[in-house]
Structure 1
């Protein structure tokens, strides 16, 4: 029975994936921000709930400790938690909210779970919005830039992709990322780009359901012979914009420095 940890699993793609993994017989850890929603998803899936707010890095550290003790071997880690926020905000850790929730937190969780991930599959939910992202290693928190919520989201997703590519080089895991397509979800719950559209009637006609959005995630979790560090969109491997081994190494090391981690795996 494989052990699967899914973050951002209290709603949307994560919740749909949790139910699908559980139906396949996996032991599933449902990780979410809301205790009530997370518990409800876990209960419906016959899974175990874990609560953490990725806007608080101490929550992430505590989650890693708990998961590491509960699951000495994790077969699949799905880094799915994320959001897009209408206005710039700073977390209690001093980081810009979007980059912390979408990138710093999953980077930290993955690194802290290293002892449980040998031979694992690590799947990260990214986005084609990464194409408008820009990585400034000297200002990952965008303190100098004019805040644009969609660009910040794109930057965080570009960071996810570059992290995945470097993770595949450094760690004894199979790491891939993917674009789920447009999905009816509460990703834009805090406002910002497309917030009103996602809640509209039209969205339900043109966007995928969470179950449809979870389909590529399920495939990537178990597919064999995946290219190391690959980015998938529309079921195919694509070369992401901004891919550069030197930048990927530098981003990994700079992030480790900001989070107080050693640069290696």
Structure 2
């Protein structure tokens, strides 16, 4: 079965690796990333349609949604892989006024998913796949009254909260839309050797950006294979969290239905959705 798939964060790392692995299977691929040069190189390799977008700007996300809708024409979108993300250093604010880690990892994909939701499952079944992280258990502790971590900011906590938000988002999608044919899942791809921690002051930088990466991390190809597996398979359980391809228990906060609902409502308000 061929699919129409949008992969965000596909200019390098596991998003690019997944696109390369999916391309020979005949799927229609749409890819996004910040770097035009890197994205175009992946597009040439895979035959994918590229869209440049910076998730630190929500207007870029809105333009991305418009571009994807125009590209789709009357077609539906079968899979949205919300894979873009990163860990950053200081509690910098975006042009939209949000802490950057929270916006790039959660608010931007939340907004994109809602702007494309009517195209997801338009032909029956569709899926949303959120790339989370084991950091949700290690560092996550969401406070709905302090989503930007103004009181308790550390790079690790901000990232853990955002990755926990990815799971809460998947559970919210399942609760709201599963009866319409939309499934959603969040997964940890493994600790992958990419440049995702290049902009952080966190100690993670010393694992990801030094020779330690060769000892401690798996390859982007292996992480990309896991993302590709979720894209092409339907054997996973909607609303669940997986560590690579095995279902695991997430941070206990992820199972709080009131927090799922509360985060959804706050997120919708923050990105300007009714």
Short-chain TM bin = over 0.9
**Matches of residues 4-23 of structure 1 in structure 2 within 5 Å?**
4-23=5-24
Partner residue in 1 for 2:68: 67
The residue that corresponds to 2:250 in the other structure is 240
1-structure distance, mates of 2:164, 2:41: 32
Q: Structure 1 residue aligned with 2:118, among 100, 115, 118?
A: 115
| C-alpha deviation, 1:178, in angstroms | 0.4
**Aligned twin of 1:223:** 233
Determine the structure 1 residue equivalent to 2:164.
158
Deviation at 1:146, TM superposition (A): 3.2
2:201 matches 1:195? no
Higher deviation after alignment, 72-81 or 217-226:
217-226
What TM-score comes out, normalization by structure 2 length?
0.92
Aligned partners of 2:257, 2:249: CA distance in 1, in Å? 12
- Deviation string 1:229-248 (CA, Å, 9 cap, x unpaired) is 11000421122111211110
Deviant stretches of 4+, over 4 Å: none
- 2: CA distance, partners of 1:225 / 1:56: 35
1:83 aligns with one of 80, 83, 86: 86
State the aligned residue count: 261
User: Which residue does 1:179 correspond to in 2?
Assistant: 188
Report the secondary structure of 2:51's partner residue. Answer: strand
- What are the ranges of 5 or more consecutive residues in structure 1 without an aligned counterpart? none
Q: Distance in 1 between matches of 2:190 and 2:263?
A: 26
List gaps (5 residues or longer) in structure 2: none
State the 1:141 CA deviation.
Answer: 1.4
Match of 1:259 in 2: 271
Query: What RMSD, in angstroms, separates the aligned Cα atoms of the two structures?
Result: 1.2
1:84, distance to aligned residue in structure 2 (A) = 0.4
Alpha-carbon distance in 2 for matches of 1:58, 1:104: 12
Look up the match of 2:155: 149
| Contact 1:68–1:115, Cα closer than 8 Å, also in 2 | no
221-230 vs 38-47, which deviates more? 221-230
Q: Distance in 1 between matches of 2:11 and 2:48?
A: 12
Give the superposition deviation at 1:197: 2.2
Q: In structure 1, how many angstroms separate the alpha carbons of the residues matched to 2:76 and 2:49?
A: 16
1:209 corresponds in structure 2 to 219
Q: Give the secondary structure class of the aligned counterpart of 1:113.
A: helix
Structure 2 match to 1:130? 136
Q: CA deviation at 1:116?
A: 0.9
Q: Normalised by the size of structure 1, how large is the TM-score?
A: 0.95
Distance 2:33 2:129 in 1: 17
Q: Which residue of 1 aligns with 2:262?
A: 250
